[in-house]
Amino acid sequence: MLQLITFSTLNGVLYGMLLFMMASGLTLIFSMMGVLNFAHASFYMLGAYFGFEISRRIGFWPGFVLAPLLVGVIGALVERYGLRHLHRRGQVSELLFTFGLAFVIEELVQMIWGKLPVDYRVPPQLDFVAFRLFDTTYPAYRVFMLLIAIAMFAALLTVLTRTRVGLIIQAALTHPDMVAMLGHDVPKIFMLVFGAGAALAGLAGVIAGPALVTQPDMASLLGPILFVVIVVGGLGSLTGAFFASLLIGLVQTFAVAMNFSFAEVLGPVAPPFLGDLWKVTIAELAPVVPYLLLVLVLIFRPTGLMGRRES
């Protein structure tokens, strides 16, 4: 039991930090530009596939550096030549554009790398056992992922709160007109933030690719969960997104680890119409958990955990 709790906590925090790597970019982009980027998970997928392609040709570490940069450049181009023209038409147009983009990216990835998962491997330098606890081993690559995620978190926090760039970004969040009046190029800041957000998602993809599965539907599987994270956290709240990421990471990981069903706990007699629900294990329910959480949060706290804005 103790073993289960320890490892599920570790994995849950890891998954949560990965979610936050993407949710942070999504939240920043949303609160700055009012754009809900449907294609954010697609940038994550692009990161994984670029990482795979580069690691196959040159090696893992060049891919680790280059793939997020490439994804960042693509993100900046999308903002410059697509979203910027739609900005004056409002949020729905922008959302629809990124929705179409996600669709196109998925089809392109399928065309280029095929519909089956690709063989994106953990680099040999990190392919060893980090530690052994209660007779279970924990791979070093996961520790590496956790360290990268924490480093990224620290870097983001430092940039946003301690540097001049972060100051301008924070100012542009609430008073874009005033920032422009002071002589800053606000569209350029938007482009950079969008690119940086995409690069962060790309980085998450590069490091998650070898540990999880790199396949064309990884974006459409993860995308909805990301939106759950930012709605549960409260739209536009970075702190909220952080706690929601950890919450969903932990809840889902613990659910996966629980291998018993309602029937075993509450007795074999199921209430009418719930026969199936009684038989499945909690682990099988794991994919539904984030969405149930979303519904519950919306019923009891419609603005999300830390959200203040009504819309």
Handedness of CA 167, 168, 173, 177 (dihedral sign): positive
Q: Which of residues 28-87 bind other proteins (CB under 8 A)?
A: 36, 82, 85-86
Closest CB to other proteins among 28 and 207? 28
Q: Beta-carbon neighbour count of residue 18 at 10 Å?
A: 25
> Token pair of 132, please?
């052994």
Give the interface segment with other proteins, choosing from 167-175, 184-192, 220-228, 240-248 (CB under 8 A): 220-228
59 φ/ψ sector (left φ>0, alpha ψ -120 to 50, else beta): left
Q: How far is CA 289 from CA 31, 71, 293, in A?
A: 27, 30, 6
Smallest Cα–Cα separation from 36: which of 77, 85, 97, 81? 97
Enumerate residues 6+ apart whose C-beta is below 8 A from 209.
47, 48, 49, 51, 52, 120
Q: Is 151 in the site for other proteins (CB under 8 A)?
A: no
Q: Is 92 in the site for other proteins (CB under 8 A)?
A: yes
**Distance from the first to the final alpha carbon of the chain:** 43
Closest CB to other proteins among 58 and 111? 111
Report how far residue 261's alpha carbon sits from residue 129's, in angstroms, rounded to the nearest whole number.
32
Give the interface segment with other proteins, choosing from 46-54, 127-135, 154-162, 271-279 (CB under 8 A): 271-279
Q: How far is the CB of 156 from other proteins (least distance, A)?
A: 23
- The amino acid occupying position 198 is A
Cβ atoms 219, 45 nearer than 8 A: yes
Q: How far is the CB of 62 from other proteins (least distance, A)?
A: 23
Q: Is 266 in the site for other proteins (CB under 8 A)?
A: no
Give the interface segment with other proteins, choosing from 68-76, 139-147, 176-184, 282-290 (CB under 8 A): 282-290
Cβ atoms 21, 200 nearer than 8 A: yes
Give the interface segment with other proteins, choosing from 17-25, 90-98, 140-148, 244-252 (CB under 8 A): 90-98
Closest CB to other proteins among 155 and 277? 277
- What are the backbone angles phi and psi of residue 291, rounded to the nearest 5°? -75, -35
Q: Is 280 in the site for other proteins (CB under 8 A)?
A: yes
Q: Is 119 in the site for other proteins (CB under 8 A)?
A: no
Q: How far is CA 205 from CA 21, 38, 43, 46, in A?
A: 10, 16, 8, 7
Closest CB to other proteins among 5 and 112? 112
Q: Is 108 in the site for other proteins (CB under 8 A)?
A: yes
> Token pair of 58, please?
């040159």
Strands of the chain, DSSP E: 129-133, 136-139
Report how far residue 38's alpha carbon sits from residue 166's, in angstroms, rounded to the nearest whole number.
25
Give the interface segment with other proteins, choosing from 61-69, 135-143, 263-271, 294-302 (CB under 8 A): 294-302
Closest CB to other proteins among 93 and 170? 93
- The amino acid occupying position 105 is I
Closest CB to other proteins among 58 and 92? 92
One residue of 69, 91, 166, 283 binding other proteins per CB under 8 A:
91
- Binding-site size for other proteins (CB under 8 A) equals 46
Q: Is 173 in the site for other proteins (CB under 8 A)?
A: no
Residues found near other proteins in the complex (CB under 8 A): 36, 82, 85-86, 89, 91-93, 95-97, 99-101, 103-104, 107-108, 110-112, 114, 220, 224, 227-228, 230-231, 235, 275-277, 280, 284-285, 287-288, 291-292, 294-295, 298-299, 302, 310-311
